[in-house]
A = this chain, B = another copy of it.
Amino acid sequence: MSKIDRISRCDECPIRHNAVCAECDAAELAMLEASKSYMTIPAGATIASAGEPLTHLSSIITGCATMSRTLEDGRRQTVGLLLPSNFIGRPGRECSIYDVEAASEVTLCRFERRTFERMVQDTPHIAARLLMMTLDELDVAREWAVVLGRMTAREKVAAFFVSLARRQAQTDGGRPPARTTTLKLPLSREAIADHLGLTIETTSRQITALRKAGLIETPSLRAVLIPDFEKLALEAGEDDDGGIVA
């Protein structure tokens, strides 16, 4: 039994202050409590499929999921990396337009779609928070467009580690990453490649190159140690003042 099974009250929830419910007061929270349900998805399982109806909208409590599009000929592009407090699904739309897959074991806090849509309409705190989260995601998506469109393979891989380090630091402590940071990689090399618009081979070569340049260490396949975060950020094509969006 995982820790999540014992959570029932929202005020014990690890994403209480970051998710779509962040701004809710006690009364609103009570309403959410009444209609939420938890669900745990094993690594590799599908959470939603492009074109298929999505009966529930949900927040990620723990774990990591990818949101991707696969073209007919097999080319795949991941358009979003979903981490704790991120939201899955869109109020006002019946179907998902992307495939959403659990990269690691994922625990979700779910709401029946119609119920949630009603809550968005009736609860300004939820609507306002959802707007802010969506604006943030839009910034992230646009930042990623710069990476996909204009960066070299090496810069892409560095940018991925930098961005992941920022997001993990954000959800862990809420502060920017320390100079020396260890990342847990929730994705396989193939999933990283799909996120970066590269092949798995090029991704692997660039990871090796960054390691040989002393910019990262790879204690295991699913971990990356960053000895000097600023140096790696520079390699990712950032001007010195740091990234604007996580």
Contact = CB atoms under 8 A, between A and B. Distances in A.
A127 B131 contact: yes
Interface in A133-153: 134-135, 137-139, 141-146, 148-150
A146 B69 contact: yes
A79 B127 contact: no
A237 interface: yes
Contacts of A76: 150
Interface stretch (A32-40, A90-98, A104-112, A170-178): A90-98
A77 interface: yes
Nearest to A130: B131
A128 B128 contact: no
A14 interface: no
Contacts of A72: 239
A27 B64 CA distance: 45
Given A79-B145, A90-B135, A130-B131, 14 more contacts: A67-B142, A71-B237, A75-B150, A97-B245, A120-B131, A124-B127, A127-B128, A131-B131, A134-B135, A137-B138, A138-B138, A138-B141, A144-B145, A148-B148
